[in-house]
Structures are given as C-alpha cells and as structure tokens.
Structure 1
Amino acid sequence: MIRVRESAADSQSSGVDLTPLIDIIFIVLVFLLLTANTRLLALPVDVPEQAESALNPVHEDKTLAVNVLAQAPHYALNQTPYPNWDEFKSAFLAAHNQYPDYTVVVAADKQAPIQPLMQLLALMQARQIDQTQILMEE
C-alpha cells in the first residue's frame, strides 16, 4: 500500500493530476476535426410542377455502336453481327455516310483478339472519323 507522509499531503493534493491527459485529448480532438473535412454533396433536383411535364421522352444520343466480339464473327454494328470484314466495312461506311454527325462508340470484348480492333481503328483513321468513343472497363 502507498503511504503518503502528512507533510507532503499538506503541500499537494492527493488526487491524480489529469492536466496532461486532457491536453493530449484536446490535441487529438482538434487533429481529428481538422482532418475529417467531409463535404456534403448536394444534387439539385428540379421537380416538375405539372404532371404533364414529367412525361417528356428522354432524348437518346445519336450513336453508331460497333462491337468487337471475342468469337467469330468479330464485328457487329448496332448489335447486328457481320460474318466477315468486307460486309461489316460496307455496312459501317454506309451507316456512317447516312448519319455523318453520329458518334461512333467502339466496345471491344476483353477476350477479343487485337487484330480486329486494330483493323477497325485503321479504317476509322483512313476515313477521318474523329467523333469516336472507346468503351473500357476499369
């Protein structure tokens, strides 16, 4: 058991001094408050005032979807597969000539060979088709 001399007890209080512990707690609290800077993100939503305005159709983007598939036939235009390169090339060029302002979206299967994709990109470069998007997985 700890015994305190009476002369020491008179000069100091017999309690534990918590000042250093409280200082450390306040420093950690301030550190956490300064580093936990979370921003609240708000998305503005325009709620229609009339029921008729909520029924407007959604406008679809004007795109030509080109798929490079893993299995033969390797090419598809707007989900229509073509058995060989020549038929796909003529269908693609006809569609692009008919809709020149459409964006060409290229989606290649990650198991697809690289040669059909390179052939497609070479065709698009030769025809100077620059409105192109290539879809990729993360």
Structure 2
Amino acid sequence: MITASSGSHAENNGNEVPSLELTPLIDIVFIVIVFLLITANAPLLKLPVNIPEATENPSADVISDETLVITVASDQNSWALGDDTYEEWGELKTVLLGRIQSKQSVLNSLNISIATDNSATAESLVKVMSFLNEHQLKNVQILMQQPE
C-alpha cells in the first residue's frame, strides 16, 4: 500500500518512480549533429567533363574528306592514322602536325575522330588529346561502341 508523506522521494521505501537519464542521449545527439555538419561541408573533388547526350539512333557522323581518324590501339603505345600505324609517339606527332598544317585553311571545318580500343591505355589517349588541345583543335569526337 502506498502512503503519502510530506518528505522527499528518497524516503519512499522502494516506491520510487523511475526517471529517465537524458544526459547521455543529449551527448549522442550533439555528436551526430557535429558529424553531419562536418561531413556536409566537405568539398567534393570533381573534374568537369562535357559529355554529349545520347540520342535515339546514335551513330558516328559521316566521315568526310576533312576528317582525320586517329586510332589508339591496345598494343603498348600504338596508334594509327587512317591506314598507317605508328609505334612511336614522335612519329605520329610529326605526321599529325603536317596534316594539320596542310589543312590550315579549313582548320575550323576539320573533323577529328579518336577511336580507342577497350584495352588501350589511358596514357595513349591522353597524349593524343593533349596534342590536339595544344593546337587548339575544337572539333574532336571520341568514338565509342554502344553497350549491347
């Protein structure tokens, strides 16, 4: 039987009302809030890349007389320009420079297509792209095979 007394709760013999300790809960909530604030403001590292959107019927443009097709082969440092293959980057660079200079009058309408093998190294592709960037050639497309 519970009797009412005018004293404190400690005087009740085993009839204390359990209380919830909120201090650990508040500590955990503050830790979660601090963690979220720190991770939400973390800067993301990104590289801007302009990728064209796919269309219903993807296809390469018709290759005209003013198109240079550069193939990056899967062999170690192997490239092809049209039907000619080059094992050395210096050889390809010299031939490309000659072709670009010979088409200087139509440089704005010169199309360059880069076709890469799936197992070609990224270094070979980057060499070609940086060369084209150095010579400010803007009409460049990378040919890709559509996944089946």
| Correspondence 1:72-91 to 2 at 5 A | 72-91=76-95
Query: Quick one: which amino acid aligns to residue 70 of structure 2?
Result: V
Aligned to 1:112: 120
Hey, which bits of structure 1, 4+ residues long, moved more than 4 A? Answer: none
Q: Distance in 2 between matches of 1:79 and 1:127?
A: 23
Which secondary structure state, in structure 2, belongs to the residue aligned with residue 104 of structure 1?
strand
Q: Distance in 2 between matches of 1:72 and 1:80?
A: 16
Report the Cα offset of residue 73 of structure 1.
4.8
Matched-pair identity in %: 24
Q: Distance in 1 between matches of 2:87 and 2:69?
A: 17
The partner residue of 1:121 within 117, 126, 129 is 129
1:60-79: CA deviation from partner (whole Å, max 9, x where unpaired)? 61210100000145111112
1:75–1:60 Cα change, 3 Å: closer
Which secondary structure state, in structure 1, belongs to the residue aligned with residue 94 of structure 2?
helix
The partner residue of 1:133 within 127, 137, 141 is 141
Which secondary structure state, in structure 2, belongs to the residue aligned with residue 128 of structure 1?
coil
TM-score of the superposition, structure 1-length normalised?
0.54
Unaligned runs of 5+ in 2: 1-61
The alignment yields a C-alpha RMSD, in angstroms, of 1.7
Query: Quick one: which amino acid aligns to residue 118 of structure 1?
Result: V
1:124–1:60 Cα change, 3 Å: closer
1:66–1:60 Cα change, 3 Å: closer
1:28-50: CA deviation from partner (whole Å, max 9, x where unpaired)? xxxxxxxxxxxxxxxxxxxxxxx
